[in-house]
Each structure stands twice: as structure tokens, then as C-alpha cells.
Chain A
Amino acid sequence: MFGKLTINAIPWDQPIPLVAGAVVIVILLAVLAWVVIKGHFPYLWREWITSVDHKRIGVMYVLLGLVMLLRGFIDAIMMRSQQALAYQAPGYLPPHHFDQIFSAHGTIMIFFAAMPIVIGLMNFVVPLQLGVRDVAFPTLNSTSFWLTATGALLVNISLVVGEFAKTGWLPYPPLSELPFSPGVGVDYYIWALLISGVGTLITGVNFVTTILKMRAPGMSYLRMSMFCWTALAANLLIVAAFPLLTATLIMLALDRYLGFHFFGNEAGGNMPLFVNLIWAWGHPEVYILVLPSFGIFSEVISTFSGKPLFGYRSMVIATLGICIVSFVVWLHHFFTMGAGADVNAFFGIATSVIAIMTGVKVFNWLFTMYGGRIRYSTPMLWSLGFIPTFVLGGMTGVLLAVPPADFQLHNSLFLVSHFHNVIIGGVVFAAFAGVSYWFPKAFGFRLYEGWGKAAFWFTFLGFYVTFLPLYVAGLLGMTRRLQHYDVAEWRPWVLAAAAGIVILAVAMVCQIAQLVLSIRDRAALRDETGDPWDGRSLEWATASPPPVFNFAFLPDVRGQDPYWAIKQRAIETQQLAAAGEYQAIEMPRNSATGFVTAFFATLTGFGLIWHIWWLVGLGLVLAYAGFVVFAWRDEDEYAVPASEVKRIDGERRRAREEWLKRRGGAGEAA
């Protein structure tokens, strides 16, 4: 009746997950109770859960990502502390538990922290920067988010019901095959990723279509913002790479569930085939994360230097070059697997080539700053911290790209430090830069700068104190994923890294404090005009937060940095451009489809994991029924009346006129 599920799936005999799970459940129930008792549920359902507005969806993505970043960080604290204690000692995490922790850490950080934050920022910003009202497929957008949330939910459920994979964040066979992973851990991994992978793929389709087919009048490709270019490249990579992940995980699932022999030891299975196919996805994946991050830095550096981005065309070419070349480097993740010198040489050279285009970008950022008037606000600090950090990580990457060197360093802590170097320096710094940059736009009030700067400095310091010692440990021969070790040489470096994680924990506390205190004092921190940073791109033309339709009139774009031109004209003429005749605006209706689909997907996934076949069938049938119900609706849009548009826009214009009056004419102090 319940497949493999029994009451003993709950880890009664393991205190750590039991207590952690209990704490989380208590918090969840408390939040739920507060929502219901205070009567917030109808608001939540109407404005957030069933919303198809890209801005709301973007905020939910980022929220999901930040919460999972916290969970992944706690896993990291556990790993560092275990290693600090486990010198010639067992530590406090038994091996099978430690294995699940490092697997969950990687899986959560990549799929449920970094991806949602990056996708969330793209969701919020790209339609605004393109000057349009929403993405191409708003309801599918909502579905994407909720399917991603389903994946995150399944991974978190594995903490209290069953177990997680013990294979590392990529489940190499034969360890991930049934004989060596007979439990449900790898199944949790497979179905969480297959389900959220569908969501991500739909996002890719959505954004490629939006960027290529929906831009404001006058916005040719070469007038798009740099963030939109990098978003385009990243989403093309999603469309091209995620199907490979889907196919490979399906093959693994067929092996585990139906006794197929794709990757097993027997009957002709080929284990390196898995490694090859999964990294053909895995390498583009990291560029999916880092390209929009580069885009965020382009925006922030340009805005806070008060100059247009240097070398726009070369940036575009570099971005597209990275996009294409990222598809011919994937073997560098398995130089040691035995393809031989010729193959290794080709991929090693291609990997070095891809660094050239990133170099072009770095120089363009530096030249953008040169000669500008730099304002050291929080987003700019993150960008400044990114440049040396990412360059260091990139250089260790080029070192690893040399196959003979990689034979020494593969799967050592040197490798671990390299990829944390580029992901933290690149993606995490960009996430915080982007969140602090666009937070006022999304919520209508700023964040406390002081706490933000403190968070930056502790993160910056903590990163180096954690990972520079691990570079050394790697060079001294320490491999990754060690539950315990007894080499005295490594000990001081492991202890130093543990100190670093404490500094990072302080940074995390600063981030939470910044958020909580800014929310508490939001009235005092209000963003009146919608343009708190003296921005250059179209999102700063709207109020904070923007109305549901984004723009009362689609902007007429005449050049790059379109909002800058509009703003300068307004300052020179000391008046806003004349408003035209307001029209009613049709917007897509809310829909519960996304949430409902994801709900049934959760049931289906859980049933597949625990072999509860009737639940699987029920989930699929109900999901299909949900599609049909949605497809049957006759009204998919509603009209915002012209009078309402006029009223909302009127407020925005009044705030801007106030600002213009206070500012004075061109040449006077800003």
C-alpha cells in the first residue's frame, strides 16, 4: 500500500537529522499558523501563489534560493567542523551521514540556491530592461517556479523521511546503481532533479522567446542591456544543456527501476558513458550560473562608475563566444578517466581558450571604472570584490586545464577550492550584488548600507580564510570528501579553514540582520522616486515597486542605456516627457495551474521514490486533468482600465517631478 515506506524511514536513531527536521517542521508550522490566523492566506494565494507576474515570481525564486543557501551553508559548517575534529579521530558525523551531507551540500547549492537566485533575478529584471510588460509565457513561468520548489521540497523531505544520496552531487555509477545504493537516497536525487529540471527548461524556452521576440519599440539587439545579453546566452545554454541532464538521469532511473544496463557493471554497461553525458550538461550549467552574474556586474559597475559600459560590442561577442565554447570543454572534468592524450589535449586547449573571453570582460569592467566617479555602495563593493577573487579562481582553473597538472590535482581540495573560488567569487557575490541593487526596485525601500557593507567584508575575508588554506591542503595531497584523515601536514590548514567558516557565519548573521532591520524600518528607508542609484537602464524608469503592467506606455528606445537619455532630456528641459493618451492595458490573469501542477508533481515524485505506484498514477492523472482544466478557460486576460493606469502613472510622475524640482537643472548638483 505504501511501497517501501515504513515508519522506520524517519531516522529515529540519528539525533542530528531528527532534531534538525523537528526544528524545521516547528518553524514551518508556526509560519503557517501565523498566516492562517492573521488571515493572510487569501492575500498570499491571490497575490503570490497564483501570480503570473514576472516580478512576483522573481521574488519568490530569490527567496527560495536564499533560504536554500542557508541550508547549504549549514551543511558546509558541518563539513568543515567535522574535518576540523576528525584528525585521527572519528569526528561527530558517521561516514554514511557525512556522505549525505556533502552530497546534499552540492546538490542544494547548485540546483536550489544558485540557480533559483540567478533565475529569479533574470525573471524580475529582464522584462523591465526590455521595456515590455511580462515574459512570453507567464503561466508557464509560474509553473517553472513551483516545479523548482517541488524539487527543493523533495530534497528537504529526504532529511526526515528516508535518506539522501551518498554519491556526491553527481551520482556516478556504479556507486549510484542499485547494488551499491539500494536505499531511496539516489531516487530522491533523481526525481527532485528531473522535476525541477522540467521547470528550468521551460524557463529557458520562456526567456529565449522573450528576449528574441519581445522588446520595446526601437530596441534592436545592440541596444539591449548587457544583463539581457548574458541572460539570452544563459537561457540558450539552458535550452541546449538541460535536456542532456534529463536524458542521463532517466537512463540512471531506468537502470535502478527496471533493471536496464546503461551504466552497470554487467551485461555491457558503460560507466564512463554516464560521466561523459552528465558533464556534457554539467559544464554548460556552470556557465548558466556565471554568465548572468557577469551581466549583473556589468550593470552595477557601469551604474556606480557613472559611465556607460566600456566596449559594449566586444562584451557581446565575448558573451556569445563563451556560450558556444562552453560546449566543447566538458571533458576537463574527467581528464583522468582515460580518454588518452589526444582527446585530453584538445579539451585542455579549448578550456584555456574560454578563459580569453572572460579576460576581455574583466578588462572592459576595469576600463569602465577608469575615469568614472565611483560610488562605493554595497552592490559596487561586491563587484569590486568579485574581480580579484574570480580572476584568482580563473587562474587556478587554467592551471587545472593542463592535463598533466590535473592528474595530480583531480579530486583534491585544490579542485574544491578552485570551483568554490569561481562560484562564490562569481555567482554568490553577483547574487548579493544583484539583490542589494534591485531590492529597492522590488520592494520600494532600501536596505541598510552599513549592514550590507559589513556582510560584504566578512564574506570577502571569510572566503579567503576558508579556501586559501584548502588550496594548500590540496597541493599537499588532501583529497576531497574525507570524513576523517590522519596526515599531520594537513591539520593546520583544515583548522584555518574552520576558522574561515566562522567568519562566513558572521557574514550570514549580518545579511539576516540587514534584512530584518530594513524591513522593520522600511518607512524611513523608502525609495520615493524609483531611481535610488541614478540608474541607466529602463527598470529605473518605473516606480518602486513597478505597477503590474510595468510601463503605462512602452518606451521608445533610441540608443544604449535608454533610461539615461530619457533622464538627461528631462533634466535639461526641466520637465518630464509629455504623457500620451492613456489606454486600457490587458494583462494575463492569475492561474493556479503552476501550483497545482507542482503539487501533483510532488505526489508523483514521492510515489516514485518510495515505490507507491498508485500514488504515481494518481499524481500523473490529476496533473493531466489540471492541464486540461487550465486549457479550457475562456478568459485568459483582464483589462486594467485606462483611468486606473492614469492614476498609477500619475503618482509616479508626481514623484519624479518632485525629484526634478529638488535636483535643479543640468550642471547643478545631483
Chain B
Amino acid sequence: MTATATVTLPRAPGLQAGAEAPGHGEGGPASTLVIVAYGFWIFLISDIVMFSAFFAAHAVLQMATDGGPGPRDLFDLRRVAIETACLLLSSFTCGLSALGSEARRMTWTQAALLVTGLLGLAFLFLEMREFASMVAAGAGPQRSAFLSSFFALVGCHGVHVSVGLLWLGTMMAQLFVKGFRADIRRRLLCFNMFWHMLDIVWVAIFTLVYLVGVAR
């Protein structure tokens, strides 16, 4: 979904073997693939910084239960473990789809993407169930600052997963219609990075929010 209309440039005269490669030092502009992937990587770094603000707020507000329920009263670690397994496996299958895309194997790639999407959906389903049960028990985000920060942080991750699934569906459709064109492959690479980064953020969430919350 990134704008891939970057410019291909004629190689400047005089670039010989042993000179610096494109995109590095004196080598002139990098290839489109490197430019697109690096740009998306920088965007992911900015996304991590945004998550860190929510983490910081949660760290400050984690004791502010206003006399209400805290982590031990609310968190079901079994469900968290299943969610973690879903997301981790989906990262694995996403990697398999990247291999398939590199080898230009359409069925393999689409199958791996499909499994990734289904695992992501399973994760979201479990998370929505968790939120719903907490709200029903009177422990919704309006109950206390601790719960506000919990719902915002975990919810932000969930929104990212949802957007990722929407993106995934679009990519699968594009792949189906247009095949392994260069710009489609670049977008798949960006999606891969996004999906792995979401799992990285989830590692931080299940550790710092759920496990440390219960262990405190």
C-alpha cells in the first residue's frame, strides 16, 4: 500500500567495479527495493515510538486501580498464552510466505498468507472476547486509569493487527490479479516487516502488561 512510484535513474557514467554501491556513500541512489524497504523500516521505528508512549502511560498508571480490580483479578494467563501462540505461529507462516514469494511459488505464498490471516483472526477473536468479558464484569476502560491504559495499549496493538489483516487481504487479492510484479513483491516485503514487528510488540505486551502485572 506504499507509494511505489519511485524514480529509476540511469546509472551515472564512471561507476566501476570496486566503487561504492548504489545507496551507499558515494555510490549514487539506491535501488527502488532498498529505498521502499528502508522507508517502511523507518516508519516502523516511528510506530515503535508511538507504542512506547502507551507503554510509558501504562507504567505510570499501573497502580491506579481506584480501589477496583487489578491484574490478578482480571488476567487469564491461559488465554494470553493461546493468543501468543497464535501470533507467533502467524509470524512463522508469514516468513514462509516470504520464502514462497522469493521463489515465485504462487500457491505456497497464498496458502501461507491465508494461514497467517486466519491465525491473526484467531488472535483478534480471543482478544475481543477478553475485552468483552472485562467490560461485562464492570472492569471496562472507564473503571480506572489502570484499565484505561490497559485497554488503550492492548487495543492499539489490536487495531494494528486489524489494519494488518485488511492489508493482508488486499495483498492477497493483488497477488492473485497481478502476480509477482516487482511493486507487489515490495509491498509484500513491507507487510512482512509490519507483521513481524507486531509480534515483537506483542512480546513486550504479554511480558510487561500481563506477566509482570500478575507477578507484581
Residues of A within 8 A of B (CB): 52, 132-134, 136-140, 143, 201-202, 204-206, 208-209, 212-221, 223, 239-244, 246-248, 250-251, 254-255, 258-262, 266-270, 273, 277, 280, 553-554, 556-557, 580, 583, 585-589, 591, 593, 624, 627-628, 630-632, 634, 636-637
Which A residue's beta carbon lies closest to that of B187?
A: A631
Which A residue's beta carbon lies closest to that of B31?
A: A213
How distant is the Cα of A630 from the Cα of B5 in the complex, in angstroms? 11
How distant is the Cα of A630 from the Cα of B175 in the complex, in angstroms? 15
Which A residue's beta carbon lies closest to that of B170?
A: A628
Q: Choose one: A138, A218, A219, A267; the contact of B66 (CB below 8 Å).
A: A267
Beyond A213-B29, A244-B49, A269-B148, 15 additional pairs, beta carbon < 8 A = A132-B9, A133-B9, A208-B42, A216-B28, A216-B29, A217-B28, A220-B25, A242-B46, A243-B49, A261-B66, A268-B64, A270-B60, A270-B64, A554-B9, A624-B166
Report the minimum CB–CB distance from B103 to chain A (whole Å).
24
B61 at the interface (CB under 8 A from A): yes
B76 at the interface (CB under 8 A from A): no
Docked complex: B32-75 residues within 8 A CB-CB of A: 34-36, 38-39, 42-43, 45-47, 49-51, 53-54, 56-57, 60-61, 64-66
Among B10, B42, B152, the one with the most A-chain Cβ atoms within 10 Å of its Cβ is B42
Q: Choose one: B26, B64, B66, B170; the contact of A631 (CB below 8 Å).
A: B170
Contact B30 A214 (CB under 8 A): yes
Contact A260 B142 (CB under 8 A): yes
Q: Choose one: B10, B35, B145; the contact of A261 (CB below 8 Å).
A: B145
Q: Are A631 and B1 also in contact (CB < 8 A) when A132-B29, A206-B39 are?
A: yes
Report the minimum CB–CB distance from B126 to chain A (whole Å).
22
Q: Is the interface of B mostly helix, strand, loop or mixed?
A: helix
Contact A258 B142 (CB under 8 A): yes
Contact B64 A213 (CB under 8 A): no
Q: Are A636 and B9 also in contact (CB < 8 A) when A209-B42, A260-B151 are?
A: no
In the complex, chain A residues whose CB is within 8 Å of the CB of B46:
201, 204-205, 239-240, 242-243
Which B residue's beta carbon lies closest to that of A223?
A: B26
Q: Choose one: B15, B25, B27, B65; the contact of A268 (CB below 8 Å).
A: B65
Q: Are A270 and B61 also in contact (CB < 8 A) when A137-B2, A243-B50 are?
A: yes
Contact B49 A240 (CB under 8 A): yes
How distant is the Cα of A248 from the Cα of B56 in the complex, in angstroms? 11
Q: Are A270 and B145 also in contact (CB < 8 A) when A580-B13, A587-B7 are?
A: yes
Q: Choose one: B3, B34, B49; the contact of A139 (CB below 8 Å).
A: B3
How distant is the Cα of A557 from the Cα of B29 in the complex, in angstroms? 13
Q: Are A588 and B13 also in contact (CB < 8 A) when A215-B28, A247-B54, A628-B170 are?
A: no
Contact A247 B45 (CB under 8 A): no
Contact B26 A218 (CB under 8 A): yes
Contact B6 A261 (CB under 8 A): no
Q: Choose one: B2, B53, B174; the contact of A244 (CB below 8 Å).
A: B53
A-B contact pairs, 6 of them (CB 8 A): A136-B36, A214-B35, A251-B54, A258-B141, A258-B142, A637-B5
In the complex, chain B residues whose CB is within 8 Å of the CB of A214:
23, 29-30, 35
B93 at the interface (CB under 8 A from A): no
Contact B13 A136 (CB under 8 A): no
B144 at the interface (CB under 8 A from A): yes
B130 at the interface (CB under 8 A from A): no
Report the minimum CB–CB distance from A202 to chain B (whole Å).
8
In the complex, chain B residues whose CB is within 8 Å of the CB of A52:
5
Q: Which 6 pairs show the lowest CB-CB distances between chains A and B?
A: A268-B64, A268-B145, A139-B3, A243-B50, A247-B53, A217-B28
Report the minimum CB–CB distance from A587 to chain B (whole Å).
7
B149 at the interface (CB under 8 A from A): yes
Which A residue's beta carbon lies closest to that of B20?
A: A220
Report the minimum CB–CB distance from A624 to chain B (whole Å).
7
B14 at the interface (CB under 8 A from A): yes
Q: Choose one: A204, A208, A247, A627; the contact of B50 (CB below 8 Å).
A: A247
Contact A553 B12 (CB under 8 A): yes
Report the minimum CB–CB distance from A377 to chain B (whole Å).
34
Contact A239 B45 (CB under 8 A): yes
How distant is the Cα of A143 from the Cα of B5 in the complex, in angstroms? 13
In the complex, chain A residues whose CB is within 8 Å of the CB of B38:
209, 212-213
Contact A217 B12 (CB under 8 A): yes
In the complex, chain B residues whose CB is within 8 Å of the CB of A246:
50
Q: Choose one: A140, A208, A586; the contact of B2 (CB below 8 Å).
A: A140
Report the minimum CB–CB distance from A254 to chain B (whole Å).
6
Contact B152 A586 (CB under 8 A): no
Which A residue's beta carbon lies closest to that of B27?
A: A217
Q: Choose one: A133, A138, A223, A269; the contact of B64 (CB below 8 Å).
A: A269
Which A residue's beta carbon lies closest to that of B39?
A: A209
B183 at the interface (CB under 8 A from A): yes
Report the minimum CB–CB distance from A554 to chain B (whole Å).
5
In the complex, chain A residues whose CB is within 8 Å of the CB of B49:
239-241, 243-244
In the complex, chain A residues whose CB is within 8 Å of the CB of B15:
217
